[in-house]
C-alpha cells in the first residue's frame, strides 16, 4: 500500500473525472482527494463532491491560492489540457514544492516526451526541467494516442480519418503500429499504481501503459468489417506530407503527421503487468464491435 494518502486533482476533464471516480470507488482504503477548479459550474464536480471529493476553488495565476489549496496534499495529479501547460502547470509545480507536496504527476498521457523539446511538447519538457530543478519527485504516465483523437469528427478529419465519409488520407502508408489507450482504461491502472506501489518505485519513475496496438490501416479494416462499407484510402507522398506540415499554424498539427507516419506515438506497455488481471476493455475490436 502506498504511503501517499491525500491527492489533489488539477483539471477536471475526462481524465480528472475518472481519477475522482476511482477514489470514490476505493473509499474504504482511506484516501482523501481534492478537486481544484476555478469554478464549480460543471455538474460532474458536484457529483464528485457527493462521492467524497473536497472541492477547492483556486486561482491558477496566484501562487498563494495554489499553495493554500495544496497544503496537506501528498500527490498532485495534473490533468490539465494543452493550453494549461505553458504557465498553469508550472505555477502548480512551484506551489506544490512550497506546500510540501511529496509527488507530482504532470499531464502527459501521450507519447514518451523525455528529452524531447519540439515546439508542441516544449511545455512538457519545461515541466520536467522544473521538477528536477526543484527536486520535487515525479511520476510520468505515457499511454500513446487516445482513440478519440481520430474518432471525433473535427480532430479525426484533421488527422485524415473521416469515418462518416469513409475517406482516409494517411500520412504515408498507414502500416505502422501505433499505441492506443482510452482514459477509461489507463486511469484505473494509473490510480492502482499510485495507490499500491511503495515510494521507492514511484518517485522519479516512468510508467508506459498500452491498451492496444494497431496501425491506421488495421483500424480502417475493422471499421470496414463493422460497417460493410468500402473505404476510400489515399496515401500521401513525402512531398504532400511536408506540404501539409508547412501549411499548418498549430504546433500540434505540425507534429502529428510525423508521429502517425513514424510510430512516434508508440509506448511499450510495460506497466500493464503491474496490475495482474488488468486488461484494456476499449480495444479497437470492441470499439467497432
> From the CA atom positions of the chain, what is the Rg in Å?
20
Cβ distance 164 to 153 under 8 Å? yes
Classify residue 169 as exposed, middle or buried by CB count within 10 Å of its CB (0-12, 13-18, 19+). Answer: middle
Q: Which residues pair with 170 in a beta bridge?
A: 235
CB 196 within 8 A of CB 2: yes
Distance (Å, whole) CA 132 – CA 121: 17
CA 244, CA 240: separation in Å to the nearest integer?
6
CATH number of 148-179+211-264+276-287: 3.90.25.10
At the top level of CATH, which class does the domain 6-144+181-208 belong to? alpha beta
pLDDT at 1: 58
Mean pLDDT of the chain: 93
Mean pLDDT, residues 111-131 taken together = 89
How many CB atoms within 10 Å of residue 87? 13
pLDDT band at 86 (very low <50, low <70, confident <90, very high): confident
Pairing of strands 75-78, 6-10: parallel
CA nearest 34: which of 42, 23, 26, 25?
Answer: 23
Question: Is pLDDT at 83 greater than 80 in this prediction?
Answer: no
The pLDDT > 70 percentage for the chain reads: 99
Residue 115 has pLDDT above 90, yes or no: no
| Pairwise pLDDT comparison (220 vs 120), residue with the higher score | 220
pLDDT score recorded for residue 278: 95
- Using DSSP bridges, classify how beta strands 161-162 and 212-214 pair: parallel, antiparallel or unpaired: unpaired
Q: What is the pLDDT of residues 137-167, one digit of tens each?
A: 999 999 999 999 999 999 999 999 999 999 9
CA distance 19 to 12: 9
For the chain, the structural domain boundaries read 6-144+181-208, 148-179+211-264+276-287
| Residue tagged 500527490 (cell numbers) | 75
Please indicate whether the domains covering 6-144+181-208 and 148-179+211-264+276-287 agree at the CATH topology level. no
| First vs last C-alpha separation in the chain | 37
Cell numbers linked to 207 = 510508467
pLDDT digit string, tens, across residues 17-66 = 999 999 999 988 899 999 998 888 888 888 889 999 999 999 999 999 99
User: Is the separation of the CB atoms in 125 and 113 below 8 Å?
Assistant: yes
- For 243-284, write each residue's pLDDT tens digit: 999 999 888 888 899 999 988 889 999 999 999 989 999 999
* Secondary structure (H, E, C), 211-251: CEEECHHHHHHHHHHHHCCCCEEEECCHHHHHHHHHHCCCH
Amino acid at each position: 500500500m502506498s504511503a501517499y494518502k491525500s491527492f489533489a486533482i488539477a483539471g477536471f476533464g475526462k481524465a480528472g473525472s475518472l481519477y475522482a471516480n476511482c477514489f470514490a470507488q476505493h473509499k474504504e482504503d482511506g484516501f482523501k482527494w481534492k478537486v481544484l477548479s476555478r469554478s464549480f459550474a460543471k455538474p460532474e464536480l458536484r457529483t464528485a463532491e457527493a462521492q467524497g471529493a473536497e472541492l477547492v476553488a483556486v486561482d491558477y495565476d496566484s501562487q498563494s491560492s495554489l499553495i493554500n489549496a495544496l497544503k496537506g496534499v501528498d500527490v498532485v495529479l495534473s490533468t490539465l489540457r494543452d493550453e494549461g501547460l505553458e504557465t498553469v502547470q508550472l505555477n502548480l509545480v512551484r506551489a506544490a514544492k512550497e506546500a510540501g507536496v511529496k509527488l507530482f504527476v504532470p499531464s502527459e498521457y501521450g507519447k514518451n516526451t523525455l528529452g524531447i523539446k519540439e515546439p508542441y511538447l516544449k511545455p512538457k519538457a519545461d515541466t520536467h526541467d522544473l521538477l528536477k530543478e526543484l527536486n520535487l519527485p515525479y511520476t510520468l504516465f505515457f499511454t500513446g494516442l487516445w482513440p478519440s483523437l481520430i474518432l471525433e469528427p473535427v480532430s479525426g478529419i484533421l488527422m485524415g480519418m473521416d469515418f462518416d465519409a469513409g475517406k482516409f488520407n494517411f500520412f504515408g502508408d498507414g502500416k505502422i503500429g501505433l499505441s492506443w489507450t482510452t482514459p477509461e482504461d489507463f486511469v484505473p491502472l494509473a490510480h492502482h499504481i499510485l495507490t499500491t506501489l511503495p515510494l521507492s518505485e514511484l518517485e522519479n519513475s516512468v510508467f508506459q501503459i498500452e491498451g492496444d496496438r494497431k496501425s491506421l490501416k488495421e483500424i480502417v479494416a475493422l471499421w470496414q468489417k463493422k460497417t460493410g462499407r468500402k473505404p476510400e484510402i489515399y496515401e500521401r507522398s513525402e512531398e504532400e506530407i511536408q506540404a501539409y506540415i508547412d501549411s499548418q499554424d498549430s504546433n500540434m498539427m505540425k507534429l502529428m503527421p510525423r508521429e502517425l507516419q513514424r510510430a512516434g506515438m508508440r509506448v511499450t506497455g510495460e506497466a500493464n503487468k503491474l496490475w495482474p488481471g488488468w486488461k484494456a476493455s476499449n480495444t479497437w475490436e470492441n470499439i467497432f464491435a
